[in-house]
Structure 1
């Protein structure tokens, strides 16, 4: 088939997402492939080298806190690629040509293969790649892949509402996913009842699936690819081809509940559309319909049948959730609408139809995981890399613009497994984000434009952080171009990557910066600010010790915690002030809102403290480097330590903006201990410990916490959680409820956001809540204030 072509030419003829689809093949370590009748999906891990900053303690220079040296870190990344099965030989040639000579032990590698094509192409794969082929059961891989996505990828599943605002309603991470029905729509359709990770049964299926749509579509139209056929269907009018109820009865058949526009017979009008043959003047039943109308009728016919079959099996087995996977849907709105309509029509809304953002890769993920479990004893957690993934298409225009890019997926392996925060009141109901920008049009427009306006400054900061690198300007420009393109795409389809929120916009920016080797753009700035703050610490502690009244001292500690939080390079208005170098800690204190604060629970906090209550263990989620951690958090920690509490300082595992990281804080703790005897003794006796949170974001998602931190929180009997900063306590976790006492502290450093809360720039949120139980009745002061953001935006006073 490819006799006269080179390997490169063969691959270029394949409908691939982009020219760089097979990324990092030279460092690939494990492969898995799901080969269907129409499409093949490849999964492989590869190591990616990127520049990072390594923090080293410098004992030689008393004026320096630590040294920051540039080094390379290795990131393990999971790539997914799809291509038409008929081009599999060319793709295997392309892969083989890129990994030849790189892996000396290639012949010892084992490639996991699933799907029907695993039998058909086993010999070809083994010969081309010189690897052992290990076939895995298709259904087992599908379930394994589906469970993995539902448990690990935020907003993987969603409900589609064709005329909703937004059209996509995401489900978050469901910790209790079982039981459910998986309807896998490949060339044919399989229906699988899933009751647990290891208990599932194929309970039905149909031969009318994606292969049917593509096959009949190829006969009826000139569409060259599956996506071309979907585009035709999007443009068509099925009423020109299908026979409706009103075509038979002249209107609705109300007696049995059939609306007038319901399809009575797919392609029914084609049977009654004769035309004369040009050869013998005899009437024949040859159709005269537009290709787009035929394609739409075909899509609706197959989707409706799949929906009805799925409903019948779900009802028969008492299942309330149906997930649709496979590569038939492709994020196509019309397909999802038709299936949703069928399920809702027949079940009268009692059964929930759900779709998956990465529906086509279930089998490939499952096969990959089978191999990973055999080779690695350790269990890892993964996060979606937004720089290498693409979002859902919203319309034919978006689909056409993106070609087949919308289904790309890349996952980065985290250093450790992550677990839900153990002190959440109800983990099943926890949602980290305060506002869903897909539903709040005004907020979405503001924040998208805010991030667009701030991209230039991020580009300049990236260049500044690597001014010695010759290609820094070029890489920074590439960051700006890609991030702006993503923001513009989100204007068209806010739901492309799940529930749109400030956290996601920040994380996406961070991912793209890292993609172009800007891992820690603020490393030098953090070093400078830490040095400045340390020189002021002794005087700050002396000032606090000079306050004799316990209430006044507690208030000053709270004000100091807030003043430190003003120093934030992530807030544009403050960053403009900080660039001048004229913002001092005392200035920050003066800028704070005068009491009563916007949300002021200080008296409740003070009352509990003055009544002699001592917390056994406090977990504090810290925010920024410099004045924030050194002059704000450490004095607050010192006061807790003096009262007998153990304190766990929880900080980011990975750098972002000017947030303090685990490596940095370990060294800062030693420097602070050299100044403060209380801190020194606590650190030596493990009354004060530093733990990595497992996060790498300015916000805080308590669904994914480092397993070691989770273990310590449980073992120490943690009874106080302190969350500091606008990203962690306002954009996220503002409404989070805990089984223990909690304190959320932040200064509103964005004027638009402050006004939304009913305040102004530098307004203060000091929110104290006592621990709750699931059966606690609402009605407390704290309960009434939950949702202040939403109430304020509509002008309701609190």
Structure 2
């Protein structure tokens, strides 16, 4: 009866568990003794905006700048689902039922399988799904999966600090991951030294692992399951069972560096001689905690010793024993810190339970071996457990059964920007909302209030029969995610303004909204192009010093036209707000951050820059009346320019495809731009990103090649997303200009200014500054 009940529960609702299963084309499965992890790739038919340079007739015979249409694009999406191994037959029945009409699945008659259950359940899988089972080595799959996650998913690895102000400290993404030590804690423990994609070896292990904890715990307590045993440990006090250093010495043993609270003997207080007549009873909770600490401490010490012997500085822990359990991670972290004296840190993985499934899948999908990256889809993934909630609430039990991970294949190969001074220490986000509770509260509320604005933008586009329904689904999904993040800020890695914007984009894509601001961008582009000629004539008539200031003010005034800023959106909705009014809104000099005089001096007294890389922001007046005149001036001074725009639409930011067409229209108005475009002195390149923010760890490799080829010596970051929310503190090996108008009153006050305060930061190359400092000494 229990099995039948469970079988029904996994079908309520299946969309939340096995998403897009009917479109699945390839499968892999990792079957452990307790949990099975199913991986499959589905084809997602997304609605994407396409732009052509064929003008489209608008209303009353007016012509649009370009024609926007939508088409279905097929993208790959990886899905990973966990379920308890004992229910594998029910899950296979469910999968088979969903795949009966799938032609894609019929084409693939083989499933990759790994883990101990790959042998035990071979016949069952073959009989249920009608496929051959190709078994893969478990360790090899673990390593392949681990490498894949570390290279593709930002914030995959993290430190855990149970009693610190910030309990999770995420490590970002690092393409240089080797060497490292992987500790896989299942029933037993394996220690694997990983030196490259293909070079790894098991250098040690211990039979004292998760099975030991469960086995001894079952003998010593009434707990029936692994989770019940962990629950007991969470509530226990090991000091009633364990003998501490202070129990022996009356305090710390300072001469050999042993603090008073360190365990001297696990279960030491439970020892009794045959002559003892009185029997002391110990609570099951205390016994369970003592057992957990004993095993975790031993694993930590063994891991440290092997890391020291092999000179490894990074240790990643994973396996069924971990599963995001805070007390377990805390104990292992303490052990590593204690034995290494802080020189080595214990690292954990957000998706460590999927390493084997990912590795098995990759082994069976040769087409995925190309270097296209994958990114986490926040709309379809489960987050980490909240440390503020009980580990074993009913919601957590369901989550542990149905944990989900989804990855989307990206369009371009990505790598770090070569202009960063040190890409290893670079972190894009200015404010970590996990560490800053006031900022977290403000921005979560701000994004919740802005959902209506996004829905309004959706309704401004051509409508389909289900547009309203999908818009409401988007609203509900995004608000639910914000609610989850309010309760558990750690759930999906670092919590920042960038991650909140990315989550909104993922939710929009989930409900097939590709570019809600496309109509608005079209109108603003048309109006701005009509005013460009007069703007250029005005600038050309100014003396050099006045022109430089006017160009800077124009760059700033254009940046006011941002539909992502709530207070500005109110002005823009009137339909009468113009470029001249935007200039009047700007803060009067001196600006909040005012390096204009230094910038002007650099332009008039220094040599022309070889090449400027400019990351653009908004469509309309921003790109056309602000950025292009600024670029034209650089071109006239002999500087090559690379204009970088987003790969995918977000709010009213200009996209790469749109910019390719806009530059042709500008070239028809400006001879300088036309000449530079024809000669290659002006290039339009795809940044590889789809966010108002800018993560310079992950930009298009083609852009990186151009930056290195042209020997770029100036980078311009324009807009709040690119220069304030991200990269405010970023340092570069070249000169950098960070330009933005602060269009959020709360943020302006936080920075010491007011609405429409100006940031115009010019920073010299750090290498140049270092030379100047040396010469001064």
Give TM-score scaled by structure 2 length: 0.92
Distance 2:217 2:513 in 1: 47
Match of 1:317 in 2: 310
TM-superposed CA distance for 1:631, in Å, is 0.8
Match of 1:192 in 2: 192
Greater shift, 167-176 or 591-600, is seen at: 167-176
Q: 1:720-779 CA distances to partner (integer Å, 9 max, x unpaired)?
A: 211100100111111222222221111111122122222221111111222233993797
TM-superposed CA distance for 1:388, in Å, is 1.3
Distance 2:642 2:171 in 1: 32
TM-superposed CA distance for 1:648, in Å, is 1.4
TM-superposed CA distance for 1:633, in Å, is 0.8
Match of 2:475 in 1: 480
Match of 1:327 in 2: 320
The alignment partner of 1:80 has SS state of strand
Residue 234 of structure 2 is aligned to residue 234 of structure 1: yes
Match of 1:137 in 2: 137
* Structure 1 residues 82 and 613: alpha-carbon distance in aligned structure 2, compared to 1, 3 A threshold: same
Match of 1:741 in 2: 735
Distance 1:60 1:488 in 2: 42
Residue 40 of structure 2 is aligned to residue 47 of structure 1: no
* Structure 1 residues 221 and 484: alpha-carbon distance in aligned structure 2, compared to 1, 3 A threshold: farther
Contact 2:26–2:108 (8 Å) recurs in 1? no
Residue 518 of structure 2 is aligned to residue 523 of structure 1: yes
TM-superposed CA distance for 1:243, in Å, is 4.5
Distance 2:183 2:398 in 1: 23
Distance 1:292 1:77 in 2: 43
Match of 2:148 in 1: 148
Q: After superposition, where does 1:761-776 map in structure 2 within 5 Å?
A: 761-773=755-767, 776=770
Distance 1:366 1:58 in 2: 46
The alignment partner of 2:765 has SS state of coil
Contact 1:108–1:132 (8 Å) recurs in 2? no
Residue 426 of structure 2 is aligned to residue 430 of structure 1: yes
Distance 1:459 1:686 in 2: 41
Distance 1:629 1:109 in 2: 52
TM-superposed CA distance for 1:217, in Å, is 4.3
The alignment partner of 1:619 has SS state of strand
TM-superposed CA distance for 1:260, in Å, is 4.4
Q: 1:483-528 CA distances to partner (integer Å, 9 max, x unpaired)?
A: 2232233233322222221111111121122212222111111112
Match of 1:393 in 2: 385
Greater shift, 620-629 or 385-394, is seen at: 385-394
TM-superposed CA distance for 1:692, in Å, is 0.9
Q: After superposition, where does 1:354-369 map in structure 2 within 5 Å?
A: 354-369=347-362
TM-superposed CA distance for 1:695, in Å, is 0.2
Match of 2:126 in 1: 126
Contact 1:190–1:202 (8 Å) recurs in 2? yes
Match of 2:506 in 1: 511
Q: 1:432-477 CA distances to partner (integer Å, 9 max, x unpaired)?
A: 11122222232222222222222232233334435x2333333333
* Structure 1 residues 250 and 604: alpha-carbon distance in aligned structure 2, compared to 1, 3 A threshold: closer
Match of 2:492 in 1: 497
Match of 1:384 in 2: 376
* Structure 1 residues 561 and 775: alpha-carbon distance in aligned structure 2, compared to 1, 3 A threshold: closer
Distance 1:488 1:247 in 2: 47
Distance 1:574 1:726 in 2: 13
Contact 2:25–2:104 (8 Å) recurs in 1? no
Greater shift, 233-242 or 263-272, is seen at: 263-272
TM-superposed CA distance for 1:539, in Å, is 1.5
Contact 1:106–1:130 (8 Å) recurs in 2? no
Contact 2:474–2:508 (8 Å) recurs in 1? yes
Match of 1:64 in 2: 64
The alignment partner of 2:16 has SS state of coil
Residue 338 of structure 2 is aligned to residue 342 of structure 1: no
Greater shift, 196-205 or 212-221, is seen at: 212-221
* Structure 1 residues 397 and 642: alpha-carbon distance in aligned structure 2, compared to 1, 3 A threshold: same
Residue 720 of structure 2 is aligned to residue 726 of structure 1: yes
Q: After superposition, where does 1:394-409 map in structure 2 within 5 Å?
A: 394-395=386-387, 397=389, 399=391, 400=393, 401-405=395-399, 407-409=403-405
Contact 1:14–1:83 (8 Å) recurs in 2? no
Match of 2:410 in 1: 414
TM-superposed CA distance for 1:259, in Å, is 4.2
Greater shift, 620-629 or 523-532, is seen at: 523-532
Q: In the alignment, which of 564, 580, 592 is matched to residue 574 of structure 2? A: 580
Greater shift, 243-252 or 651-660, is seen at: 243-252
Contact 2:25–2:105 (8 Å) recurs in 1? no
Q: 1:625-648 CA distances to partner (integer Å, 9 max, x unpaired)?
A: 111011111111111222222221
Greater shift, 100-109 or 346-355, is seen at: 100-109
Contact 2:55–2:63 (8 Å) recurs in 1? no
Distance 1:568 1:748 in 2: 11
TM-superposed CA distance for 1:79, in Å, is 1.0
Q: In the alignment, which of 677, 683, 697 is matched to residue 677 of structure 2? A: 683
The alignment partner of 2:614 has SS state of strand
Distance 2:467 2:11 in 1: 33
Match of 1:206 in 2: 206
* Structure 1 residues 579 and 689: alpha-carbon distance in aligned structure 2, compared to 1, 3 A threshold: same
* Structure 1 residues 268 and 92: alpha-carbon distance in aligned structure 2, compared to 1, 3 A threshold: farther
* Structure 1 residues 160 and 733: alpha-carbon distance in aligned structure 2, compared to 1, 3 A threshold: same
Match of 1:794 in 2: none
* Structure 1 residues 678 and 153: alpha-carbon distance in aligned structure 2, compared to 1, 3 A threshold: same
TM-superposed CA distance for 1:673, in Å, is 2.1
Match of 2:78 in 1: 78
* Structure 1 residues 482 and 213: alpha-carbon distance in aligned structure 2, compared to 1, 3 A threshold: farther
The alignment partner of 2:203 has SS state of strand
Q: 1:686-713 CA distances to partner (integer Å, 9 max, x unpaired)?
A: 3222111100000000111112111222
The alignment partner of 1:412 has SS state of strand
Residue 367 of structure 2 is aligned to residue 375 of structure 1: yes
Structure 2, gaps ≥5 residues long: none
Match of 1:263 in 2: 263
Residue 618 of structure 2 is aligned to residue 624 of structure 1: yes
The alignment partner of 1:397 has SS state of coil
TM-superposed CA distance for 1:368, in Å, is 1.9
Greater shift, 728-737 or 641-650, is seen at: 641-650
Greater shift, 629-638 or 735-744, is seen at: 735-744
Match of 1:112 in 2: 112
Distance 1:32 1:131 in 2: 12
Contact 1:329–1:336 (8 Å) recurs in 2? yes
Distance 1:17 1:309 in 2: 44
Match of 1:784 in 2: none
Q: After superposition, where does 1:613-652 map in structure 2 within 5 Å?
A: 613-652=607-646
* Structure 1 residues 476 and 603: alpha-carbon distance in aligned structure 2, compared to 1, 3 A threshold: same
Distance 1:345 1:209 in 2: 20
Q: After superposition, where does 1:460-475 map in structure 2 within 5 Å?
A: 460-465=456-461, 468-475=463-470
Greater shift, 24-33 or 689-698, is seen at: 24-33
* Structure 1 residues 779 and 568: alpha-carbon distance in aligned structure 2, compared to 1, 3 A threshold: farther
Match of 2:19 in 1: 23
Distance 2:768 2:383 in 1: 36
Distance 2:610 2:260 in 1: 68
Distance 1:157 1:404 in 2: 24
Contact 1:17–1:408 (8 Å) recurs in 2? no
Contact 2:217–2:229 (8 Å) recurs in 1? yes
Contact 1:237–1:293 (8 Å) recurs in 2? yes
Contact 1:617–1:719 (8 Å) recurs in 2? yes
Match of 2:708 in 1: 714
Greater shift, 551-560 or 287-296, is seen at: 287-296
